Structure 1
Amino acid sequence: MSTLALPYLSRPRWRRPLPGFGLSLGLGMAWLGAVVLLPLAALTFRATGLGLDGWLRALKDPRVQSALKVSFGTAFVAALVALFAGALVAWVLVRYRFPGRRLLDALVDLPFALPTAVAGIALTAIYAPTGWIGRYLEPLGIQVAYQPAGIVIALVFIGLPFAVRTVQPILESLGHEQEQAAASLGASRLTTLRRVVLPELLPALLTGFSLAFARALGEYGSVIFIAGNKPFQTEIAPLLITIRLEEYDYNGAIALAALMLAASFACLLAINLIPLAFRHERRSRRDG
């Protein structure tokens, strides 16, 4: 045997660290089906069995409608606040270098690791009438805890990381060249922000808003402590689902849970469609 063939024969054969596509896909879909799809399918099946009359009877309850208004209203406001604050935090983390930057970057992810019940208890201790901040707001007639404002603060706390982490990578890839070119052409800061930065950030901003809204819509642990849970005032839909189950009103709980599931799925669908819509718009502009 020629010695020239020895290196070729001794070359190790490349192997994938995971098994083939079929087996990997099968295992992944099996876990996804058992953990996620099966419970959702069971809920959908039970919800379809209620019929139109059952749905209307459950959703026409004034208490249910009030809880839905509180949940959707506070989630929308909190997502807007988290989007604005998160964009500013992402801008500071990307555009500036300062002492404690890495610490601030790590603190952004704290709501991901912190149990939501702990966050709710901490926020209540701060904003309650006898809390660190609440004691100074109470004489001014401003009450945060046990009011919708407290719910918004709790939802901003858990939604802020989504806004930061969706905007931050886009800012890092954007660079300074386009902003410097706009400034060299005489554009003001507002014009540069409106004509250069925001068009590039808009898909990420909409995605961050959708993620924060979907997360806030189903939040439970951090809200029930600071909300006060007063029916027709600060009672949220996830809490009402638990109450309906404790009252053995399974049809009412299923109808409300299915509605929340549909709203969350709509948000997730929007998250996936937003980049495709902007990509199609840019392609049409380029071709036009």
Structure 2
Amino acid sequence: MKGSAPKAPKSRNVLPGFGLSLGFTLLYLSLIVLIPLAGVFIRTTELSWTEFWNTVTTVRVLAAYRVSFLTAFAAALVNVVFGLIVAWVLVRYRFPGKKLLDALVDLPFALPTAVAGIALTAIYAPNGLIGSALAPLGIKTAYSPVGITIALIFIGIPFVVRTVQPVLQDLEKDVEEAAVMLGARRWRTFRRIIFPELLPAILTGFALAFARGIGEYGSVVFISGNMPLKTEIAPLLIMTKLEQHDNAGATAIALVLLVLSFALLLLINFLQWRVNRRTEAV
């Protein structure tokens, strides 16, 4: 037809179409995540509500929940502070051995958790290199909540560093230089310009480190001492129930741990969403 514009060629995606990709995604998530988690709920139905409530509210179980959540929360907070410092040093400075230090950050990912637990216990035990120096000061590290927190710090710090590091690399230095030229001091520049950009990544790193700490077992079981009501963690209590062939009791404890962890992660994701909206509005 005269005067009609030629049709633009239809763009083709490298990956399959949306429908096929979404189908594969849902199938994969169902097989790997949703169905195993649903199995926890289904297995718990073997218990009546009274049996379930009596299982998850015993003094020993509540103490294990408290130890797991408090130590994971404390370790995640410590990792936020020192992980941000490590990421800052790796991005903003050049020094000999920088690549080696950058590679060491990923060591907790590659190291078997049992090896990490044995190594930390050997160092922080009362007769260990660091534990023997702290013992005369009245500071007990191994076989205490402090030792559990140390193990979770070791396991969780890569999550914060690797989450914050790419954001720092993408930050434009022109805005920081402009703030300095206008008379802003270093702390104010960091607080008003840099930190708001890093806050979503910091919250993500905190959530990942916190979630990993709640479910960590291998690196904690050696340094904790596994004392009921004192240093016993919830994952160890689940293993104890399984060894006693109390599968329903183990899944009941796991279900509460799952629900609480999911609720806290939803809260953190909500805070991250609010921060992102506020940053985009500015």
TM-score normalised by structure 1 residue count: 0.87
Q: 2:252 maps to what in 1? A: 255
The 8 Å contact of residues 56 and 256 in structure 2, kept in 1 or not, is answered as no
In the alignment, is the contact (CA less than 8 A) between 1:54 and 1:251 conserved in 2? Answer: no
Distance of 2:275 and 2:46 partners within structure 1: 39
Separation in 1, partners of 2:166, 2:108: 19
User: Could you say which residue in structure 1 is the equivalent of 2:7?
Assistant: none
2:94 counterpart SS class = coil
Deviations 1:146-165 (Å, cap 9, x if unpaired)? 11111000000011001111
Match among 171, 180, 186 for residue 174 of structure 1: 171
Q: Which residue of 2 aligns with 1:63?
A: 60
Rounded to whole Å, the distance in 2 between the matches of 1:31 and 1:141 is 51
Query: Cα deviation per residue 1:222-263 (whole Å; 9 max; x = unaligned)?
Result: 000000001111000000011112223333211110111123
Alignment of 1:14-25 (within 5 A): 19-25=16-22
Partner of 2:117: 120
Aligned to 2:243: 246
**Pair 105,49 (structure 1): closer, same or farther in 2 beyond 3 Å:** same
Question: Is the aligned partner of 1:73 residue 2:55?
Answer: no
Provide closer, same or farther for how the CA distance between residues 152 and 62 of structure 1 changes in structure 2, counting only shifts above 3 A. Answer: same
Partner of 1:54: 51
1:103 maps to 2:100: yes
Q: Which residue among 5, 8, 27 is the counterpart of 1:30?
A: 27
Q: What amino acid maps onto 2:244 in structure 1?
A: E
Identical columns (%) = 59
One-letter identity of the residue aligned with 2:214: L
* Structure 2 SS opposite 1:262: helix
RMSD, matched Cα: 2.2
Whether contact under 8 Å (2:199, 2:275) holds in the other structure is no
- 1:148 is matched with 145
Query: Aligned partners of 1:201, 1:79: CA distance in 2, in Å?
Result: 16
CA distance in 1, matches of 2:169, 2:17: 35
Q: In 1, are the aligned partners of 2:123 and 2:131 still within 8 Å (CA)?
A: yes
1:262 maps to a residue whose letter is V
Shift of 1:81: 0.4
Deviation, 1:267, is 4.3
Q: CA deviation at 1:182?
A: 1.5
Q: How many residues are paired up? A: 273
Give a deviation string over 1:52-106, Cα, whole Å, max 9, x none: 3233211220000110110011011000001111000000011101111111111
Give the drift of 1:39.
1.1
State the SS of the aligned residue for 1:186.
coil
Distance 1:69 1:125 in 2: 26
Q: Distance in 1 between matches of 2:131 and 2:74?
A: 21
The one-letter amino acid paired with 1:180 is E
The CA distance in 2 between the partners of 1:89 and 1:200, in whole Å, is: 17
| Residue 218 of structure 1 pairs with residue 215 of structure 2 | yes
| 1:237 aligned onto 2:227 | no
- For 1:96, give the aligned amino acid: Y
* C-alpha separation in 1, matches of 2:82 and 2:73: 14
- Residue segments in structure 1 that go unaligned for 5+ positions in a row: 1-13
Which amino acid is the alignment partner of residue 86 of structure 2? V
Change (3 A) 1:48 1:182: farther
Give the deviation of 1:279 after TM superposition: 3.2
CA distance 1:169–1:274, shift in 2 (3 Å): farther
What are the equivalent positions in structure 2 for 1:77-92 lying under 5 Å apart? Answer: 77-92=74-89
Unaligned runs of 5+ in 2: 1-10
Select which of 111, 132, 136 maps to 1:135: 132
The answer on whether the counterparts of 1:211 and 1:271 sit within 8 Å (CA) in structure 2 is no
Looking at structure 1, the residues matched to 75 and 257 of structure 2 have their Cα atoms a distance apart, in angstroms, of 17
